Chain A
Amino acid sequence: MVKISVLQHAPSTHLPARPGDPTPTSRNLDPLMHPFARARERTRALNAVKMERIFAKPFIAALEGHVDAVETMARKPGTLNVVASGSWDGGMIVHDISLRRHILRVDEAHKGKISGVCFADEDRLLTCGVDRNVKLWDTREVDENGAGPSDVRKPLNVFPGKSAFNSIDHHRTDPIFATASNIVQIWDETKSAPISNLSFPTSIETISAIKFNLSESSVLASIGSDRTFTLYDIRTGKAERRIVMQMRSNALSWSPTFPTTILLASEDHNLYTFDIRSLKTPSQIYKAHVAAVMSCDWSPTGHQFVSGGWDRTVRIWQEGRGTAPEVYHTKRMQRVTSTLFTSDAKYVLSGSDDGNIRIWKARAHEKLGILDSRERAAIEYRESLKQKWKTDAQVNKISRTRHIPKPVHKAGQLKRTMLEAQRVKEERRRKHTRAGESKPTAEKRKVVIAEQS
């Protein structure tokens, strides 16, 4: 036989010597040997950012069921998929968002709008409405009476109040909850009357929303129709401090990771984060909405939050970055009245005037499903490339550009024009006053009118 000598490809030279070892590289890692590294990486960054835009498909599903606008939503702590929502028609639904079905549905939970929903411990749910009642529900699919999801449910308990409730929130650990009407009331789940009333003296406002701090759970905050934000502590049993702002706030949310930080969604199209240790100025202003911001919610990571506005958009912000949020919109989505992050920080829910709850991805271009390690490495590489090359004009432009509905765009333009005109006017005024007499005030200083104690 003819002896054939083949080119031998010894695998030992290309495989790690031991299982844990890195794969031997036959590359020269000397940067001088790679004069075109930068150019190549820039091209990759450009491709990465293009791919991001190509694959940005955030909308996942819409949960139907409400007849009227979705007023409020709450996620069940410790779960990923259970979300309760209340509507203007008094209907209350508990959704399983992963299966997209109703766990519980009560059509006439309250007379009139359900203004607040929150989960008590275990499977119980608290709702409050403008019918001056707080109701406690069992959200299990079959409750102890044997009533299934389709049966008419009776509340476990009803807490009657004296005036219409606007908001409700449950303490993180203790069986107490707080309601907001014309005053803030603290209730015990086992008692039918409020155990204490908290109000800032001389205030005759309507409290529109209330939230317990998550980490420092005795602290709670409320916002009122008097353009106020008030801080309470149930340990001292007092309204401790109040600030009055230029415009009233519509929603508030405590940061889960930074216990001193609170986020306010304001009527003046902006969102503000405050550090409760110094309420004189906001720590950051978030400007992008072109109409009043109706709701906001922090991501469980505390590095992102979502806001829904009267301008029919949902925006996802990075903490500390006051501009250029991710913007979601659909043709049929109306005013967004409630927004929510899921507990794994991967999805965002928005409830809107059209009675639907929509599920969005928190990161529009993220691939869902299982990733293998190489794919993950590639994704991470692309992300870091984008991050690195964001200063490049071309890359930046592509990543920045969003197509938004025309009305929103126009409103934005108009707003810009108006603000610019204001600025110019102010500048002129300053120019024509005696030198040094009027100084420009920082935008952050304009927000809070008064801090009351």
Chain B
Amino acid sequence: YSHFLEVMKGHSLEEDQVNFRGFMRTLAHFRPIEDNEKSKDVNGPEPLNSRSNKLHFAFRLYDLDKDDKISRDELLQVLRMMVGVNISDEQLGSIADRTIQEADQDGDSAISFTEFVKVLEKVDVEQKMSIRFLH
């Protein structure tokens, strides 16, 4: 997961410097959503640990060139990090292709953020992108 460390550090703050505030902001994404938070202040600014913010955080990990789209190459890169060396490049490529095809709705061979949200709508992101210690 070392890749994620770097990427996370990279995009959590726009500057090179890692300051404590930025760090905390990044970590805030992983705060679990509490029951009382769900109902209150619908109009207020969206908290960092909302579902869409959690998703966006993950999305940005894929989106290496920051064009708001996950392209095949970007996906491949992430895949390569995650799976071991056992899977051949072609297999990875086919996985990436299929992944994109599955998610792609507007036919641009890339996954936009809306498409990203759509494919994960059945996944309990609130739960899976939360860490207990940030309670």
- Decide if A and B are genuine partners: no
Give chain B's interface residues, CB within 8 Å of chain A: none
